[in-house]
Amino acid sequence: MTITLPTPEATHDWGRELAESLKAGDVVAFCGHLGAGKTQATKGLVVGMGSVADVTSPTFTLVHEYFDGRLPLFHFDFYRMDEAAQVLTVGWDDILDEPGVVIVEWADLFPELLPEHARWFYFESLPTGERRVKEGPAPAHD
């Protein structure tokens, strides 16, 4: 599945629609360069889950937790992590066992941490200002 999103609002709406299909235990992996739309899609996803939280990328805190929607949401950002062990120190394995949804920005930095059932989405900025999102397989890892 590949979709072209013409505006940031369309990216937000795409995330909101994706949220409708998510259930407890789902893991969503977002990949793409800076400014590709990962956080905008996450904002829509959080809204689509029924949360009214102000969503920002957890670049410096690693994880934000939202408990005011239909399911708990755990929003990770691997961008500033140097090694997978840093992710494990925040209780990654315990969070994967929670009855909620896990969203990971920059998931391709440590694909070995994500479960096999994770859904992988690849974001790309186009020269026109549009965003392209493609769902695909997990990237290869060691």
- Closest alpha carbon to 104 in 132, 73, 126, 133: 73
Kindly report the pTM of this predicted structure: 0.92
Pair 36, 54: CB distance under 8 Å: no
Domain ranges of the chain: 2-130
Which tens digit of pLDDT belongs to each residue from 92-122? 999 999 999 999 999 999 999 999 999 999 9
Instruction: For 2-130, give the CATH class.
Output: alpha beta
